Amino acid sequence: MDYAAQRAKMVDNQIRTTDVTSRTVLAAFLAVPREKFTPEHLKALSYIDTDINVGEGRYMMEPSPLAKMLQLLDLRAGERVLEIGAASGYSAALMAHMGASVVTVEETPAAAEFAKAALDGVDNVTLVTGALSVGCPAKGPYDAIFVNGAVEELPQSLFDQLKEGGRLVAVFGEGLASSAKVFVSEGRAVSERFGFNTSVRKLPGFEKIAEFVF
């Protein structure tokens, strides 16, 4: 299979057509080999517009919403990024290609093992094994935080790992009612802005705690 040609078609047909105009984002998707981050038995599916299972319920996000989220994150070269959920390592490799220094956290053993192997040879990415909801405060603070999946809510402790002016991008909700949002740390407050409607796989560990009314 001509993966380079498939990569170009992915960018032209799946990403550019969904209002992704950032040259940095487009260049990363053209350069990073998605097939390297796809399990061997699924490599033929590397460039179709779908999520790819990398083990134990963890998925590599489909290209279109991933590209739109990275555009929303608005990374600049030299910034330090925390990724919540390494999955296959693909999104971390994309951000590294965009010039960021990436700390990516994964708690699922199968995904962490796969991502570690796939990221071999990728500069500026550190893989940390641990609870997604904790992040990695020891290596912070961060210019940006990328949440690689849909959540119901995020703990304040993640926002606390942002630098002043730092951004966090995540998808909130489930199914077609979900939306990507960007948050900006401003002093002791965090502002919120709507990005776009989307539907991505749920990231475990960020469910709302049930409230009981008596």
Does residue 51 fall inside a structural domain? yes
Does residue 204 fall inside a structural domain? no
Q: What's the pLDDT score for residue 169?
A: 98
* Segments forming the whole domain that contains residue 186: 3-197
Does residue 212 fall inside a structural domain? no
pTM value is 0.95
Does residue 108 fall inside a structural domain? yes
Does residue 174 fall inside a structural domain? yes
Name the helix (H) or strand (E) containing 157. helix 156-159
Does residue 134 fall inside a structural domain? yes
In CATH, what number is assigned to the domain containing residue 138? 3.40.50.150
Picking from 93, 123, 117, the residue whose alpha carbon sits closest to that of residue 29 is 93
Give yes or no for a cis peptide into 137 (omega within 30° of 0): no
Number of domains in the chain: 1
In order along its 214 residues, the chain shows pLDDT tens digits of 899 999 999 999 999 999 999 999 999 999 999 999 999 999 999 999 999 999 888 999 999 999 999 999 999 999 999 999 999 999 999 999 999 999 999 999 989 999 999 999 999 999 999 999 999 999 999 999 999 999 999 999 999 999 999 999 999 998 777 999 999 998 888 999 999 999 999 998 898 876 655 5
Does residue 89 fall inside a structural domain? yes
Does residue 188 fall inside a structural domain? yes
